[in-house]
Structure 1
Amino acid sequence: MTMILDPLQPGSGAIRSQHYLPATGGNVLWGRLPCAADSAVLDIDSGDEVTIDTLSHEGILEDQGRDPRRFFKANGVDAHFVLDDAIAIAASDYPRDRAVDGPHVVTGPIRVRGAKPGDLLKMTLVEALPRVPYGVISNRHSRGALPGEFPQGLESVSVYSEVDLDPDGRQVGTLPIVAGGPPIVRFPLAPFLGIMGVAVSGDTRPHSVPPGSHGGNIDINLLTAGNSLYIPVQVDGALAYVGDPHFAQGDGEVALTAMEASLRVTVRFELVSQPDALQQFGHLIGPLAETSEFLVPTGMSVDLDEAVQHCVRAAIGLLGARYQMDPHLAYAYLSAATDFNISQVVDIVKGVHARIRVSDFAGLDLHAQRAR
Structure 2
Amino acid sequence: MLQPHQGPIAGAHYLPTTPETCLWGRLPNRSHAPVLRVRSGETVTIDTLSHEGILEDQGRDPVGYLKQYDVPADGVLADARDLAASDVAHDYDDDGPHVVTGPITVNGAQPGDLLRVDVLDLTIRAPYGFVSSRHGYGALPGEFPLTPVDTGPGSDPRAYGSVCHFTEVASSGGRLYGVLPFGAGRAARFPLAPFLGLMGVAVDTDEMVHSVPPGGHGGNLDINELQVGSSLYLPVQLPGAGFYAGDPHYAQGDGEVALTALEAPLRATLRLTVIPAAQAATLIGAGEAPLAETATHWIPVGLDADLNEAMRRAVRAAVDFLARTQGMPRDTALAYLSAAADFEVSQVVDAVKGVHCLIRKADFPAQI
State the TM bucket, normalised to the shorter chain: over 0.9
Question: Which amino acid letter does the alignment assign opposite residue 161 of structure 1?
Answer: T
Decide which of 83, 87, 112 is 2:81's aligned counterpart: 87
Structure 2: distance between partners of 1:36 and 1:247: 31
Decide which of 244, 248, 252 is 1:249's aligned counterpart: 252
What is aligned with 1:4?
none
Q: How is 1:204-223 mapped onto 2 (pairs within 5 angstroms)? A: 204-223=207-226
The unaligned stretches of length 5 or more in structure 1 are 1-6, 366-372
Decide which of 179, 182, 189 is 1:177's aligned counterpart: 182
Q: How is 1:155-234 mapped onto 2 (pairs within 5 angstroms)? A: 155-166=161-172, 168-178=173-183, 181-182=184-185, 184-234=187-237
What is aligned with 1:110?
104
Give the superposition deviation at 1:78.
Answer: 1.9
What is aligned with 2:136?
142
1:17-62 deviation line (CA, Å, top 9, x unaligned)? 2300000131000000000111001110110000001000000001
Question: Which amino acid letter does the alignment assign opposite residue 93 of structure 2?
Answer: A
Q: How is 1:277-288 mapped onto 2 (pairs within 5 angstroms)? A: 277-288=280-291
Q: Secondary structure at the match of 2:169?
A: strand
1:103-127 deviation line (CA, Å, top 9, x unaligned)? 1001110000000000000011110
- Alpha carbons 1:339, 1:355 under 8 Å: kept: yes
What is aligned with 2:5?
11
Give the TM-score, by structure 1 length.
Answer: 0.94
What is aligned with 1:368?
none
Q: How is 1:219-368 mapped onto 2 (pairs within 5 angstroms)? A: 219-364=222-367
Q: Secondary structure at the match of 1:331?
A: helix
1:71-115 deviation line (CA, Å, top 9, x unaligned)? 111111122110111111111121222221111001110000000
Runs of 4+ in structure 1 off by over 4 angstroms are none
Question: Which amino acid letter does the alignment assign opposite residue 270 of structure 1?
Answer: T
The unaligned stretches of length 5 or more in structure 2 are 149-160
What is aligned with 1:98?
92
Distance verdict in 2 for CA 1:183–1:18, change over 3 Å: farther
Percent identity of equivalent pairs: 55
Give the superposition deviation at 1:183.
Answer: 5.3
Give the superposition deviation at 1:130.
Answer: 0.5
1:164-194 deviation line (CA, Å, top 9, x unaligned)? 012x13110001232xx33531100011000
Structure 2: distance between partners of 1:246 and 1:28: 18
Mapped pair 1:21 → 2:27 = no
Aligned-pair Cα RMSD in Å: 1.1
Give the superposition deviation at 1:224.
Answer: 0.4
Q: Secondary structure at the match of 1:25?
A: coil
Q: Secondary structure at the match of 2:292?
A: strand
Give the superposition deviation at 1:280.
Answer: 3.4
Mapped pair 1:36 → 2:30 = yes
- Alpha carbons 2:49, 2:264 under 8 Å: kept: yes
- Report how many aligned residue pairs link the two structures: 356
